[in-house]
Structure 1
Amino acid sequence: MKNIPRYISTALAGLVLLASTPAVKADPATAGPQFNERGELVRPEDYRSWVFLNTAIGLTYGPNRPPPGAPQAFTSVFVNPKAHAEFQKTGLWPDGTIFALEVRPALTAVSALDGALTQGPRVALEVAVRDSSRYPDGGWSYFSFDPPRDNPTAGFRERAAPFPRTAGCYSCHQKHAAVQWTFTQFYADAFGRAKQAGTVRKDYDAARKIEEVGH
Protein backbone atom coordinates (compact mmCIF):
# COMPACT_ATOMS: atom_id res chain seq x y z
CA MET A 1 0.00 0.00 0.00
CA LYS A 2 2.97 2.30 -0.60
CA ASN A 3 1.18 4.62 -3.06
CA ILE A 4 -2.30 4.42 -1.53
CA PRO A 5 -3.44 7.48 0.44
CA ARG A 6 -3.60 6.98 4.19
CA TYR A 7 -7.39 7.37 4.44
CA ILE A 8 -7.95 4.71 1.77
CA SER A 9 -5.55 2.24 3.35
CA THR A 10 -7.27 2.78 6.70
CA ALA A 11 -10.66 2.07 5.13
CA LEU A 12 -9.33 -1.08 3.46
CA ALA A 13 -7.93 -2.28 6.77
CA GLY A 14 -11.36 -1.77 8.30
CA LEU A 15 -12.98 -3.83 5.55
CA VAL A 16 -10.51 -6.65 6.12
CA LEU A 17 -11.32 -6.58 9.84
CA LEU A 18 -15.06 -6.72 9.14
CA ALA A 19 -14.62 -9.58 6.69
CA SER A 20 -12.74 -11.59 9.29
CA THR A 21 -15.37 -11.09 12.00
CA PRO A 22 -16.98 -14.53 12.61
CA ALA A 23 -20.40 -13.39 13.80
CA VAL A 24 -22.84 -10.57 13.11
CA LYS A 25 -24.59 -8.98 16.05
CA ALA A 26 -28.27 -9.85 16.07
CA ASP A 27 -31.01 -7.25 15.90
CA PRO A 28 -31.90 -6.60 19.58
CA ALA A 29 -35.57 -6.17 18.68
CA THR A 30 -35.89 -9.75 17.41
CA ALA A 31 -32.98 -11.61 19.00
CA GLY A 32 -33.64 -14.55 21.31
CA PRO A 33 -31.32 -16.57 23.54
CA GLN A 34 -28.14 -17.84 21.90
CA PHE A 35 -26.73 -21.24 22.90
CA ASN A 36 -23.53 -23.06 21.97
CA GLU A 37 -23.28 -26.74 21.06
CA ARG A 38 -23.01 -27.72 24.75
CA GLY A 39 -26.28 -26.03 25.65
CA GLU A 40 -24.52 -23.14 27.40
CA LEU A 41 -26.12 -19.72 27.14
CA VAL A 42 -24.02 -17.03 25.50
CA ARG A 43 -23.90 -13.88 27.62
CA PRO A 44 -26.20 -11.17 26.18
CA GLU A 45 -23.93 -8.16 25.76
CA ASP A 46 -26.59 -5.62 24.81
CA TYR A 47 -29.12 -6.24 27.58
CA ARG A 48 -28.92 -2.66 28.86
CA SER A 49 -30.53 -1.54 25.58
CA TRP A 50 -33.50 -3.85 26.24
CA VAL A 51 -36.78 -2.92 27.93
CA PHE A 52 -36.15 -1.80 31.51
CA LEU A 53 -38.57 -3.38 33.98
CA ASN A 54 -37.49 -2.36 37.46
CA THR A 55 -34.76 -1.42 39.91
CA ALA A 56 -35.12 -2.50 43.52
CA ILE A 57 -33.09 -2.40 46.73
CA GLY A 58 -32.94 -5.28 49.18
CA LEU A 59 -33.84 -8.17 46.85
CA THR A 60 -30.40 -9.77 46.79
CA TYR A 61 -29.72 -13.09 48.51
CA GLY A 62 -27.09 -15.80 48.74
CA PRO A 63 -23.55 -14.80 47.71
CA ASN A 64 -24.80 -11.50 46.26
CA ARG A 65 -26.18 -10.25 49.58
CA PRO A 66 -24.09 -7.32 50.94
CA PRO A 67 -22.11 -7.94 54.14
CA PRO A 68 -23.67 -6.94 57.49
CA GLY A 69 -23.71 -3.19 57.97
CA ALA A 70 -23.33 -2.39 54.27
CA PRO A 71 -26.12 -0.70 52.27
CA GLN A 72 -28.42 -3.02 50.38
CA ALA A 73 -27.56 -3.53 46.71
CA PHE A 74 -29.49 -2.41 43.65
CA THR A 75 -30.97 -5.09 41.40
CA SER A 76 -32.10 -3.99 37.93
CA VAL A 77 -34.06 -6.18 35.51
CA PHE A 78 -34.23 -5.93 31.71
CA VAL A 79 -36.16 -8.08 29.20
CA ASN A 80 -35.57 -8.57 25.49
CA PRO A 81 -37.84 -6.33 23.34
CA LYS A 82 -39.46 -9.13 21.33
CA ALA A 83 -40.66 -10.90 24.47
CA HIS A 84 -41.90 -7.67 26.02
CA ALA A 85 -43.90 -6.81 22.90
CA GLU A 86 -45.63 -10.20 23.05
CA PHE A 87 -46.26 -9.81 26.79
CA GLN A 88 -47.95 -6.47 26.17
CA LYS A 89 -50.37 -8.26 23.84
CA THR A 90 -51.16 -11.32 25.96
CA GLY A 91 -49.95 -10.78 29.52
CA LEU A 92 -47.80 -13.91 29.17
CA TRP A 93 -44.05 -14.27 28.65
CA PRO A 94 -43.45 -16.27 25.44
CA ASP A 95 -40.77 -18.81 24.62
CA GLY A 96 -37.60 -16.89 23.82
CA THR A 97 -38.02 -14.53 26.78
CA ILE A 98 -34.72 -13.47 28.36
CA PHE A 99 -34.58 -11.65 31.68
CA ALA A 100 -31.24 -10.10 32.62
CA LEU A 101 -30.76 -9.18 36.28
CA GLU A 102 -27.71 -7.20 37.30
CA VAL A 103 -26.54 -6.38 40.81
CA ARG A 104 -24.74 -3.15 41.69
CA PRO A 105 -23.67 -1.98 45.16
CA ALA A 106 -25.30 1.08 46.68
CA LEU A 107 -22.75 3.86 47.15
CA THR A 108 -23.26 6.48 49.86
CA ALA A 109 -20.26 8.81 49.41
CA VAL A 110 -20.94 9.99 45.85
CA SER A 111 -23.86 12.40 46.18
CA ALA A 112 -23.80 15.77 47.95
CA LEU A 113 -27.19 14.92 49.47
CA ASP A 114 -27.23 13.15 52.83
CA GLY A 115 -28.74 9.69 52.64
CA ALA A 116 -28.62 9.50 48.85
CA LEU A 117 -27.65 6.21 47.21
CA THR A 118 -26.11 5.78 43.77
CA GLN A 119 -25.23 2.65 41.84
CA GLY A 120 -21.70 1.33 41.74
CA PRO A 121 -20.08 -0.97 39.17
CA ARG A 122 -21.80 -4.22 38.21
CA VAL A 123 -20.88 -7.09 40.52
CA ALA A 124 -23.27 -9.84 39.36
CA LEU A 125 -25.26 -10.80 36.27
CA GLU A 126 -27.92 -13.50 36.24
CA VAL A 127 -30.23 -14.48 33.39
CA ALA A 128 -33.51 -16.38 33.10
CA VAL A 129 -34.60 -17.94 29.81
CA ARG A 130 -38.00 -19.33 28.84
CA ASP A 131 -37.86 -22.27 26.42
CA SER A 132 -40.54 -24.89 27.05
CA SER A 133 -39.05 -27.37 24.57
CA ARG A 134 -35.53 -27.14 25.98
CA TYR A 135 -36.71 -26.98 29.60
CA PRO A 136 -40.01 -28.93 29.75
CA ASP A 137 -40.05 -29.00 33.57
CA GLY A 138 -41.48 -25.54 34.16
CA GLY A 139 -40.26 -23.92 30.95
CA TRP A 140 -37.50 -21.84 32.53
CA SER A 141 -33.82 -22.13 33.32
CA TYR A 142 -31.46 -19.84 35.21
CA PHE A 143 -27.86 -18.87 34.58
CA SER A 144 -25.10 -16.95 36.33
CA PHE A 145 -22.37 -15.09 34.46
CA ASP A 146 -20.62 -14.01 37.65
CA PRO A 147 -16.84 -14.37 37.79
CA PRO A 148 -15.63 -17.68 39.28
CA ARG A 149 -15.68 -17.49 43.06
CA ASP A 150 -12.13 -18.83 43.24
CA ASN A 151 -10.95 -16.18 40.76
CA PRO A 152 -13.12 -13.06 41.15
CA THR A 153 -10.77 -10.89 39.08
CA ALA A 154 -11.26 -13.09 36.00
CA GLY A 155 -14.21 -11.03 34.79
CA PHE A 156 -17.72 -12.08 33.84
CA ARG A 157 -18.14 -15.39 32.04
CA GLU A 158 -18.82 -15.34 28.31
CA ARG A 159 -21.15 -18.36 28.55
CA ALA A 160 -22.90 -20.25 31.33
CA ALA A 161 -24.49 -23.65 31.89
CA PRO A 162 -27.99 -23.71 33.39
CA PHE A 163 -28.33 -24.18 37.13
CA PRO A 164 -29.16 -27.80 38.01
CA ARG A 165 -32.86 -28.50 38.51
CA THR A 166 -32.15 -29.09 42.20
CA ALA A 167 -31.14 -25.44 42.71
CA GLY A 168 -33.38 -23.52 45.08
CA CYS A 169 -34.24 -20.83 42.54
CA TYR A 170 -36.58 -23.20 40.67
CA SER A 171 -38.75 -24.05 43.67
CA CYS A 172 -38.72 -20.41 44.82
CA HIS A 173 -39.97 -19.13 41.48
CA GLN A 174 -42.55 -21.91 41.27
CA LYS A 175 -43.87 -21.13 44.75
CA HIS A 176 -43.75 -17.34 44.92
CA ALA A 177 -43.72 -15.87 41.39
CA ALA A 178 -46.98 -14.26 40.29
CA VAL A 179 -46.86 -14.92 36.54
CA GLN A 180 -45.37 -18.02 34.88
CA TRP A 181 -42.56 -18.51 37.40
CA THR A 182 -41.55 -14.84 37.05
CA PHE A 183 -41.56 -12.18 39.75
CA THR A 184 -43.66 -9.89 37.59
CA GLN A 185 -45.22 -8.58 40.80
CA PHE A 186 -42.01 -6.57 41.30
CA TYR A 187 -42.41 -4.78 37.94
CA ALA A 188 -45.27 -2.32 38.42
CA ASP A 189 -46.21 -1.68 34.78
CA ALA A 190 -45.86 -5.31 33.72
CA PHE A 191 -47.83 -6.49 36.74
CA GLY A 192 -50.61 -4.08 35.86
CA ARG A 193 -50.76 -5.58 32.37
CA ALA A 194 -50.82 -9.12 33.78
CA LYS A 195 -53.71 -8.25 36.09
CA GLN A 196 -55.55 -6.66 33.19
CA ALA A 197 -55.02 -9.78 31.07
CA GLY A 198 -55.97 -12.13 33.91
CA THR A 199 -52.66 -14.02 33.82
CA VAL A 200 -51.72 -13.64 37.49
CA ARG A 201 -51.82 -17.07 39.15
CA LYS A 202 -55.03 -17.62 41.08
CA ASP A 203 -53.29 -18.54 44.33
CA TYR A 204 -50.86 -15.61 44.30
CA ASP A 205 -50.59 -14.11 47.79
CA ALA A 206 -48.74 -10.79 48.05
CA ALA A 207 -48.37 -11.26 51.81
CA ARG A 208 -46.48 -14.55 51.49
CA LYS A 209 -42.84 -14.01 52.42
CA ILE A 210 -40.05 -15.36 50.26
CA GLU A 211 -37.64 -17.51 52.23
CA GLU A 212 -33.89 -17.30 51.74
CA VAL A 213 -32.76 -19.45 48.83
CA GLY A 214 -29.44 -20.29 47.25
CA HIS A 215 -28.38 -21.40 43.82
Structure 2
Amino acid sequence: MTALAAAMLSLGAAPRDPERTPPSDYRFTADHRLEFPVDYREWIFLSAGRGMTYGASANPNGSPLFDNVFVNPRAYREFLKNGRWPDRTVFVLETRKAATEGSINKGGQFQKEVVGIEVEIKDRRLQETEGWGFFEFDGDRKPARQVAKGASCYTCHAAHGAVEQTFVQFYPTLIPVAMKHATFKPQP
Protein backbone atom coordinates (compact mmCIF):
# COMPACT_ATOMS: atom_id res chain seq x y z
CA MET A 1 0.00 0.00 0.00
CA THR A 2 1.38 3.39 -0.92
CA ALA A 3 1.81 6.11 1.67
CA LEU A 4 -0.91 8.21 -0.03
CA ALA A 5 -3.42 5.34 -0.01
CA ALA A 6 -2.63 4.60 3.63
CA ALA A 7 -3.09 8.27 4.52
CA MET A 8 -6.45 8.39 2.70
CA LEU A 9 -7.67 5.30 4.51
CA SER A 10 -6.55 6.63 7.87
CA LEU A 11 -8.54 9.83 7.24
CA GLY A 12 -11.62 7.86 6.20
CA ALA A 13 -11.39 8.97 2.58
CA ALA A 14 -12.56 6.56 -0.06
CA PRO A 15 -11.40 6.48 -3.65
CA ARG A 16 -13.81 8.26 -6.01
CA ASP A 17 -16.29 6.03 -7.77
CA PRO A 18 -16.02 6.88 -11.49
CA GLU A 19 -19.71 5.96 -12.02
CA ARG A 20 -20.90 8.74 -9.71
CA THR A 21 -21.21 12.42 -10.47
CA PRO A 22 -19.43 14.53 -7.85
CA PRO A 23 -22.11 15.45 -5.29
CA SER A 24 -21.86 19.18 -5.96
CA ASP A 25 -21.28 19.22 -9.68
CA TYR A 26 -22.37 18.09 -13.12
CA ARG A 27 -20.60 17.02 -16.26
CA PHE A 28 -21.17 17.38 -19.97
CA THR A 29 -20.21 14.84 -22.59
CA ALA A 30 -17.97 15.84 -25.50
CA ASP A 31 -21.10 16.54 -27.58
CA HIS A 32 -22.55 18.91 -24.91
CA ARG A 33 -25.08 16.54 -23.36
CA LEU A 34 -25.62 16.63 -19.62
CA GLU A 35 -24.71 13.42 -17.82
CA PHE A 36 -27.35 12.09 -15.44
CA PRO A 37 -26.58 13.10 -11.82
CA VAL A 38 -26.76 9.58 -10.39
CA ASP A 39 -26.39 10.61 -6.75
CA TYR A 40 -28.95 13.44 -6.70
CA ARG A 41 -30.93 11.70 -3.94
CA GLU A 42 -27.96 12.41 -1.63
CA TRP A 43 -28.37 16.15 -2.27
CA ILE A 44 -30.47 18.66 -0.33
CA PHE A 45 -34.20 17.91 -0.52
CA LEU A 46 -36.06 21.20 -1.00
CA SER A 47 -39.71 20.26 -1.28
CA ALA A 48 -42.36 17.89 -2.56
CA GLY A 49 -45.44 18.96 -4.47
CA ARG A 50 -48.42 17.23 -5.97
CA GLY A 51 -50.01 18.01 -9.31
CA MET A 52 -47.41 20.67 -10.17
CA THR A 53 -45.98 18.89 -13.22
CA TYR A 54 -46.66 20.48 -16.59
CA GLY A 55 -44.12 18.78 -18.83
CA ALA A 56 -43.99 15.54 -20.75
CA SER A 57 -44.32 13.49 -17.55
CA ALA A 58 -47.63 15.12 -16.53
CA ASN A 59 -50.51 12.73 -15.93
CA PRO A 60 -53.67 14.50 -17.20
CA ASN A 61 -55.95 11.44 -17.02
CA GLY A 62 -54.88 9.98 -13.71
CA SER A 63 -54.06 10.90 -10.17
CA PRO A 64 -51.82 13.97 -9.85
CA LEU A 65 -48.13 13.13 -9.73
CA PHE A 66 -45.69 13.87 -6.94
CA ASP A 67 -42.69 16.12 -7.58
CA ASN A 68 -39.55 16.04 -5.43
CA VAL A 69 -36.98 18.80 -5.82
CA PHE A 70 -33.29 18.42 -4.93
CA VAL A 71 -30.41 20.91 -5.21
CA ASN A 72 -26.68 20.30 -5.07
CA PRO A 73 -25.25 20.93 -1.58
CA ARG A 74 -22.70 23.58 -2.61
CA ALA A 75 -25.40 25.73 -4.23
CA TYR A 76 -27.69 25.33 -1.23
CA ARG A 77 -25.00 26.48 1.21
CA GLU A 78 -24.26 29.52 -0.98
CA PHE A 79 -27.97 30.38 -1.23
CA LEU A 80 -28.23 30.37 2.57
CA LYS A 81 -25.45 32.98 2.71
CA ASN A 82 -26.82 35.49 0.18
CA GLY A 83 -30.19 34.40 -1.23
CA ARG A 84 -28.77 33.88 -4.73
CA TRP A 85 -27.96 30.75 -6.70
CA PRO A 86 -24.28 30.50 -7.64
CA ASP A 87 -22.90 29.44 -10.99
CA ARG A 88 -23.05 25.63 -11.34
CA THR A 89 -26.28 25.29 -9.36
CA VAL A 90 -28.13 22.07 -10.19
CA PHE A 91 -31.81 21.35 -9.48
CA VAL A 92 -33.30 17.91 -10.05
CA LEU A 93 -37.06 17.56 -10.38
CA GLU A 94 -38.04 13.94 -9.81
CA THR A 95 -41.62 13.11 -10.83
CA ARG A 96 -43.28 10.02 -9.36
CA LYS A 97 -46.62 8.28 -9.74
CA ALA A 98 -49.06 8.52 -6.85
CA ALA A 99 -50.88 5.57 -5.31
CA THR A 100 -53.64 5.04 -2.77
CA GLU A 101 -54.11 1.29 -2.89
CA GLY A 102 -52.07 -0.18 -0.09
CA SER A 103 -52.27 2.89 2.14
CA ILE A 104 -52.88 2.00 5.79
CA ASN A 105 -55.49 4.75 6.07
CA LYS A 106 -58.46 5.57 3.85
CA GLY A 107 -57.30 8.83 2.27
CA GLY A 108 -53.55 8.45 2.20
CA GLN A 109 -51.45 8.74 -0.92
CA PHE A 110 -47.84 7.77 -1.34
CA GLN A 111 -45.17 7.92 -3.99
CA LYS A 112 -44.42 5.12 -6.42
CA GLU A 113 -42.00 4.73 -9.35
CA VAL A 114 -40.20 7.59 -11.08
CA VAL A 115 -41.86 8.67 -14.34
CA GLY A 116 -39.65 11.62 -15.19
CA ILE A 117 -36.45 13.44 -14.30
CA GLU A 118 -35.82 17.05 -15.29
CA VAL A 119 -32.71 19.04 -14.46
CA GLU A 120 -32.20 22.80 -14.36
CA ILE A 121 -28.69 24.18 -14.16
CA LYS A 122 -27.24 27.65 -13.80
CA ASP A 123 -24.10 27.95 -15.88
CA ARG A 124 -22.71 31.25 -17.15
CA ARG A 125 -21.48 29.44 -20.28
CA LEU A 126 -25.09 28.95 -21.40
CA GLN A 127 -25.25 32.48 -22.80
CA GLU A 128 -27.89 31.72 -25.43
CA THR A 129 -30.38 30.92 -22.65
CA GLU A 130 -29.23 33.63 -20.21
CA GLY A 131 -27.16 31.28 -18.07
CA TRP A 132 -29.87 28.71 -17.35
CA GLY A 133 -30.43 25.33 -18.99
CA PHE A 134 -33.10 22.65 -18.81
CA PHE A 135 -32.58 18.96 -19.54
CA GLU A 136 -35.07 16.07 -19.63
CA PHE A 137 -33.90 12.51 -19.02
CA ASP A 138 -35.57 9.47 -20.50
CA GLY A 139 -35.99 6.26 -18.51
CA ASP A 140 -32.61 5.02 -19.70
CA ARG A 141 -30.89 8.06 -18.12
CA LYS A 142 -28.59 8.53 -21.08
CA PRO A 143 -26.97 11.98 -21.36
CA ALA A 144 -29.55 14.61 -22.31
CA ARG A 145 -29.43 17.51 -24.73
CA GLN A 146 -30.35 20.97 -23.49
CA VAL A 147 -33.99 21.86 -24.10
CA ALA A 148 -34.12 24.37 -26.96
CA LYS A 149 -34.32 28.09 -26.29
CA GLY A 150 -37.90 29.28 -26.52
CA ALA A 151 -39.36 26.18 -24.87
CA SER A 152 -42.06 26.81 -22.27
CA CYS A 153 -39.76 25.93 -19.36
CA TYR A 154 -37.62 29.02 -20.05
CA THR A 155 -40.55 31.44 -20.39
CA CYS A 156 -42.41 30.03 -17.39
CA HIS A 157 -39.39 30.12 -15.09
CA ALA A 158 -38.51 33.66 -16.23
CA ALA A 159 -42.07 34.88 -15.66
CA HIS A 160 -42.88 33.05 -12.43
CA GLY A 161 -39.59 32.31 -10.67
CA ALA A 162 -39.48 34.00 -7.26
CA VAL A 163 -35.67 34.04 -7.17
CA GLU A 164 -33.92 34.33 -10.51
CA GLN A 165 -35.30 31.52 -12.71
CA THR A 166 -36.33 29.29 -9.80
CA PHE A 167 -39.56 28.55 -7.98
CA VAL A 168 -38.37 29.37 -4.46
CA GLN A 169 -41.98 30.28 -3.63
CA PHE A 170 -42.61 26.51 -3.45
CA TYR A 171 -39.62 25.79 -1.16
CA PRO A 172 -40.89 26.91 2.27
CA THR A 173 -37.52 26.66 4.01
CA LEU A 174 -35.91 29.02 1.47
CA ILE A 175 -38.57 31.75 1.37
CA PRO A 176 -37.34 33.40 4.61
CA VAL A 177 -33.75 33.28 3.33
CA ALA A 178 -34.67 34.99 0.07
CA MET A 179 -36.78 37.57 1.89
CA LYS A 180 -33.96 38.32 4.34
CA HIS A 181 -31.58 38.96 1.43
CA ALA A 182 -34.22 40.86 -0.60
CA THR A 183 -33.96 38.46 -3.55
CA PHE A 184 -37.56 37.20 -3.34
CA LYS A 185 -39.83 38.46 -6.12
CA PRO A 186 -43.47 38.27 -4.94
CA GLN A 187 -45.81 36.48 -7.33
CA PRO A 188 -49.11 38.00 -8.51
Task: Answer whether TM exceeds 0.5 for this pair.
Answer: yes
Q: How high is the TM-score relative to the length of structure 2?
A: 0.86
Question: Which residue of 31, 43, 53 maps to 1:50?
Answer: 43
On the 8 A contact 1:110/1:118 being kept in 2, the answer is: no
Structure 1 unaligned blocks of 5 or more: 1-20, 147-154, 209-215
Question: Which residue of 165, 173, 176 maps to 1:192?
Answer: 176
**Residue in 1 aligned with 2:152?**
168
Q: Distance in 1 between matches of 2:163 and 2:17?
A: 38
> 2:63 aligned with 1:74, yes or no?
no
Q: CA deviation at 1:137?
A: 3.5
Q: Secondary structure at the match of 1:53?
A: strand
Question: Which residue of 92, 112, 118 maps to 2:104?
Answer: 112
Q: CA deviation at 1:134?
A: 2.7
Instruction: In structure 1, give the amino acid aligned to 2:161.
Output: A
C-alpha RMSD of matched pairs (Å): 1.8
Offset from partner CA, 1:106-160 (integer Å, 9 cap, x none): 10102120010010011100000000223353210000002xxxxxxxx333200
On the 8 A contact 1:135/1:141 being kept in 2, the answer is: no
**Residue in 1 aligned with 2:115?**
123
Q: How high is the TM-score relative to the length of structure 1?
A: 0.76
Q: CA deviation at 1:71?
A: 1.6
**Residue in 2 aligned with 1:158?**
142
Q: From the superposition, tell whether residues 112 and 192 of structure 1 become closer, same or farther in structure 2 (CA, over 3 Å).
A: same
On the 8 A contact 1:177/1:183 being kept in 2, the answer is: yes
Q: Secondary structure at the match of 1:45?
A: coil
Q: Distance in 1 between matches of 2:169 and 2:85?
A: 13
On the 8 A contact 2:67/2:95 being kept in 1, the answer is: yes
- 1:11-160 to 2 correspondence within 5 Å? 23=18, 25=20, 27-28=22-23, 31-68=24-61, 70-135=62-127, 137-146=129-138, 155-160=139-144
Q: CA deviation at 1:25?
A: 3.8
Q: From the superposition, tell whether residues 25 and 120 of structure 1 become closer, same or farther in structure 2 (CA, over 3 Å).
A: closer
Q: Distance in 1 between matches of 2:38 and 2:82?
A: 27
Q: Distance in 2 between matches of 1:109 and 1:141?
A: 37
The number of aligned residues is 173
Structure 2 unaligned blocks of 5 or more: 1-15
Q: Distance in 1 between matches of 2:38 and 2:55?
A: 24
